[in-house]
Structure 1
Amino acid sequence: MTKEKLIALLTLKKVPNLGDSSIKKLIREVGSAEAVLSEKTTNLLKIDGIGTTRIKEIHSAKHRIAAENELKFVEDNKINYTIYDEIDYPEKLKYCIDGPVVLFSKGNIDLKNRKMLSIVGTRKVTSYGVKFCEELIETVVPLNPVIVSGFAYGVDITAQRTAVKHNLQTVGCLAHGLNQIYPKTHKKYMSQIEENGGFFTDFWSTDTFDRKNFLGRNRIIAGLSEATIVIESADKGGSLVTAEIANSYNRDVFAVPGRASDSLSTGCNMLIKTQRAHMLTSAADLIYMLNWELNEKEQPIVQKQLFVELDGDEKKIYDFLSKNGKKLLDVIALQCGIPTFKVASVLLNLELKGVIRPLPGKLFEVI
């Protein structure tokens, strides 16, 4: 990418009321960001939905000056960046019409060929929500997913801290520039997250924290992943907005159900009731719905490994399936006396060791 291309994109980003989807439309019509800035007003007026006010702003010199200043900040602070039509731009975000034309980042983010989960929820998370979030992430560790969230209080930071604990990559999406951090109390987690992933934002150093920025931040959270999980939410809130955005991107949405009397379950129950989210009661539901398990067609044609080392729970489940044939996950949990969430993790480990395989309908059998 040339420096002039980046400056041109940043210049267009600075134009008031010109969003990412409109910028992409202009570029498609004219040919490049640089060409848009030099295109005659009469030609730009032929493009539907742009209008004279925005065209006048496009030709304003002050926006280029602001873009050059921002680029200097980016270079001076060694901030990484990528643009929407480059190979290193997050793959799933490329398919979002309003995905950022320029995405800034810090840390050691590597999303290539990685499973990705966005986890969001209330800032006032309960002990139940914390426990569910931690057990969910612990169960999917063998799949090595990237955990995406908003670095906020409650569910967000619980998900990201748990990811770090299990050496999973995690990405925090911010509602401000990379020259600040919100909430300030989370500054202590930044270095760990940058070592195990990092931060994304499309906001500039001149963009201070503001609640109106949450919508822009949430579209990145929803766009990065193949699935968004909502763990506890009131009847209104940013996590529900993120779920709606994920649905608009045709991504899977999951919600953790709760009691009808619990205010922090109202949002999740509503998503499930209105069929805008799958019900999520354990990691097994997630793995099954996303088809992340190693199904029979994906299994390599090899003989079963000999002398595979199995730990206590692995051996107990393996011996049970060897004796009783194919069984449902819930039956395995009941008969082996192991919690369902833990059984799902153990079964996944046994799949990866090549000694069992999943079958349709949540059945498992020994190979």
Structure 2
Amino acid sequence: MSHEAQFEVALSFLPYVGDQLTKVLVSYCGSAKAVLHAPVPKLMKVPGVGEKVAKSIRDNGRQALLEADEVLKKASDKQVELLFYTSSKYPNRLKQLPDAPPLLYYRGNANLNHHRIISIVGTRKPTSYGQAVTERIIEELKPYGVMVVSGLAYGIDIAAHRAALQAGLPTIGVMASGPDIIYPGVHKKYAEKMLEQGGVLTENTFGTKPDAPRFPARNRIIAGMSDCTIVIEAAFKSGTLITADIAHSYDKEVMAVPGNINSPMSEGTNWLIKSHKAAVLTATQDLIELLNWDIEDSLAVKRAKAIPALDPADFTPEEMQVLQVLIQSGEEQMDNLGWKAQVPVNQLASVLLALEFKGVVKAMPGKKFALIR
């Protein structure tokens, strides 16, 4: 764990400093450490920081660092990764959203920047129809290698996690509690399996109980880190519709499975479709076509055939990671290349330059890079 990590965690313990202000402070000061070392006059020049907040940061910084030190020790003991929003492991889809949590607690082995991520949410009291549809969708998504995100709750959530584990797909449970508290407790056995095939994720520190207000906050992470949120059965007034609303507000794709008009558990999904807040999902192919996965895959096959085999012995591991991304996409913007290839930003420019010298990559306008055919 880096020395900077203590300062990054400490920011989450400062009074009056919320998610958005944390990111503004780091942006203006240059680092979390610089925020906590900045004098009051400098802090007051940051937009959104008045004298009260600036003095609070200075007065509470030491205590926040002590709390952060305790968190780092617990994280080390419990094998929890602390992902600050500047980390290459932080979910990039989520990072781009204004209310994204600056710090995440993560246990697991999956890449949170997986190339295809969907979230599946729904009622805690599903019918046999809802359960069967959940299992069928996930089984039919196996060839597309998706990651399945849900909230580890009763009903559709746990059915989605269970089906993903069965299908051999990575699955992430986003929790409203601390990383050391699995709620509900009866799902602990599934959560433990997910640590080997996915993981559990939360913005809450150790010991945090899953109080009611934390669930809507949790839902923004589920919606934000996914390419598409699929709603399978939901009552008209339910937390599931909050997740769909959040995804909609993020300009993310939302799909809903239509249901029996006499079933209270289909009122919410049918309303989403009727009010054009969700595209209708009657077959898994609807999702694949909406996200253009079929086109992506056929293009990738054509590119793989057109590109001569690359000998890994000729390239460093980081160069091969970049080349694999470009083989899939043909061309890519530099910012996207970094997180897709999982190459740190400070190394990426030299990796791309080396690939240009080797004659396999070319720079294009708009900070784009492409493979040379």
Matched with 1:14 is 13
Query: Given that residues 8 and 33 in structure 1 are in contact (C-alpha distance below 8 angstroms), is that contact kept between their aligned partners in structure 2?
Result: yes
Instruction: Name the CA shift for 1:63/1:158 in 2 (closer, same or farther; >3 Å).
Output: same
Provide the secondary structure at the position in 1 that maps to 2:141: helix
Provide the secondary structure at the position in 1 that maps to 2:195: helix
Counterparts in 2 of 1:276-355, with a 5 A limit?
276-294=277-295, 297-300=299-302
Matched, 1:233 2:234: yes
> How far apart are residue 299 of structure 1 and its match?
4.3
TM value normalised by structure 1 = 0.77
Instruction: Name the CA shift for 1:16/1:127 in 2 (closer, same or farther; >3 Å).
Output: farther
CA distance in 1, matches of 2:274, 2:285: 21
Identical columns (%): 40
CA distance in 1, matches of 2:300, 2:78: 45
Query: Given that residues 19 and 98 in structure 1 are in contact (C-alpha distance below 8 angstroms), is that contact kept between their aligned partners in structure 2?
Result: no
> How far apart are residue 37 of structure 1 and its match?
1.3
Matched with 2:214 is 213
CA distance in 2, matches of 1:171, 1:67: 25
Provide the secondary structure at the position in 1 that maps to 2:187: helix
- Long gaps (5+) in structure 1: 304-367
Matched with 2:23 is 24
Matched with 1:50 is 49
> How far apart are residue 298 of structure 1 and its match?
4.6
Counterparts in 2 of 1:1-367, with a 5 A limit?
2-3=2-3, 5-59=4-58, 60=60, 61-294=62-295, 297-300=299-302
CA distance in 1, matches of 2:51, 2:208: 26
Q: Deviation per CA, 1:53-112, whole angstroms, max 9, x where unpaired?
A: 433332213222211111111112221222211222222122122222222111211245
Provide the secondary structure at the position in 1 that maps to 2:15: coil
Provide the secondary structure at the position in 2 that maps to 1:179: coil
Instruction: Name the CA shift for 1:113/1:157 in 2 (closer, same or farther; >3 Å).
Output: closer
TM value normalised by structure 2 = 0.76
CA distance in 2, matches of 1:58, 1:135: 51
CA distance in 2, matches of 1:138, 1:20: 37
Query: Given that residues 79 and 105 in structure 1 are in contact (C-alpha distance below 8 angstroms), is that contact kept between their aligned partners in structure 2?
Result: yes
CA distance in 2, matches of 1:221, 1:39: 34
Query: Given that residues 15 and 54 in structure 1 are in contact (C-alpha distance below 8 angstroms), is that contact kept between their aligned partners in structure 2?
Result: no
Task: Look up the equivalent residue of 1:190 and give its one-letter code.
Answer: A
> How far apart are residue 47 of structure 1 and its match?
2.7
CA distance in 1, matches of 2:293, 2:205: 36
Task: Look up the equivalent residue of 2:228 and give its one-letter code.
Answer: A
Query: Given that residues 181 and 207 in structure 2 are in contact (C-alpha distance below 8 angstroms), is that contact kept between their aligned partners in structure 1?
Result: no
CA distance in 2, matches of 1:16, 1:262: 46
Aligned length: 302
> How far apart are residue 50 of structure 1 and its match?
3.0
> How far apart are residue 212 of structure 1 and its match?
1.1
| CA RMSD across the alignment | 1.9
Query: Given that residues 227 and 252 in structure 2 are in contact (C-alpha distance below 8 angstroms), is that contact kept between their aligned partners in structure 1?
Result: yes
- Long gaps (5+) in structure 2: 307-373
- Structure with higher Rg: it is 1
> How far apart are residue 297 of structure 1 and its match?
4.5
After alignment, is 151-160 or 221-230 more displaced? 221-230
Query: Given that residues 228 and 253 in structure 1 are in contact (C-alpha distance below 8 angstroms), is that contact kept between their aligned partners in structure 2?
Result: yes
Instruction: Name the CA shift for 1:43/1:106 in 2 (closer, same or farther; >3 Å).
Output: same
> How far apart are residue 274 of structure 1 and its match?
2.1
Task: Look up the equivalent residue of 1:211 and give its one-letter code.
Answer: A
CA distance in 2, matches of 1:36, 1:215: 29
Matched with 2:338 is none
